[in-house]
């Protein structure tokens, strides 16, 4: 068991996103995502399931051409998809990628 203080973790820019991974196993990895005002997460093809939990701020997330707004303390869960994210005023999130199981 490990306890993480998500509010105290340092977050690196998108270009250094691998430094934001704070826990990783074969099945999943968890990271901090911090976007500055006007920031974005470029469109990416996710082969894994994803969970985004908004710790602070607000983001606009597009999943396979469907766009929604997520506010603080809201959570998005998506199956493998094409994703992108933007924010007007900045946001801090926890993102979890869960490997798609090959078992049915």
| pTM score | 0.90
Q: Cα separations (Å) of 89 from 4, 17, 65?
A: 25, 20, 22
Residue 72 lies in a domain: yes
Residue 19 lies in a domain: no
Residue 14 lies in a domain: no
Can you give the pLDDT at residue 104?
Answer: 47
Long-range contacts: 29-32, Cβ < 8 Å, 24+?
29/96, 29/97, 30/94, 30/95, 30/96, 31/94, 31/95, 31/96, 31/97, 32/6, 32/92, 32/93, 32/94, 32/95
CATH code (residue 101) = 2.60.120.10
Domain count for the chain: 1
Residue 47 lies in a domain: yes
Write out the residue range of the structural domain in which residue 60 sits. Answer: 38-104
Residue 3 lies in a domain: no
Alpha helices in the chain, H assignment, sequence order: none
Spatial contact of 30 and 98, defined as CB atoms under 8 Å apart: no
Q: Tokens standing for 18?
A: 């691998």
Each residue's pLDDT tens digit, 38-81? 999 999 999 999 999 999 999 999 999 999 999 999 999 999 99
Residue 60 lies in a domain: yes
Residue 84 lies in a domain: yes
Q: Cα separations (Å) of 95 from 21, 103, 104?
A: 9, 24, 25
The stretch 83-95 carries a mean pLDDT of: 97
């Amino acid at each position: 068991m490990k306890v993480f203080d998500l509010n105290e973790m340092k977050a690196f820019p998108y270009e250094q996103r691998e430094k934001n991974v704070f826990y990783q196993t074969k099945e999943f990895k968890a990271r901090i995502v911090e976007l500055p005002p006007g920031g974005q997460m470029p469109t990416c093809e996710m082969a894994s399931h994803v969970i985004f939990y908004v710790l602070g701020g607000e983001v606009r997330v597009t999943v396979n051409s469907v766009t929604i707004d997520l506010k603080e303390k809201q959570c998005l869960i998506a199956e493998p998809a094409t994703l992108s994210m933007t924010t007007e005023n900045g946001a801090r999130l926890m993102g979890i990628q869960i490997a798609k199981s090959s078992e049915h």
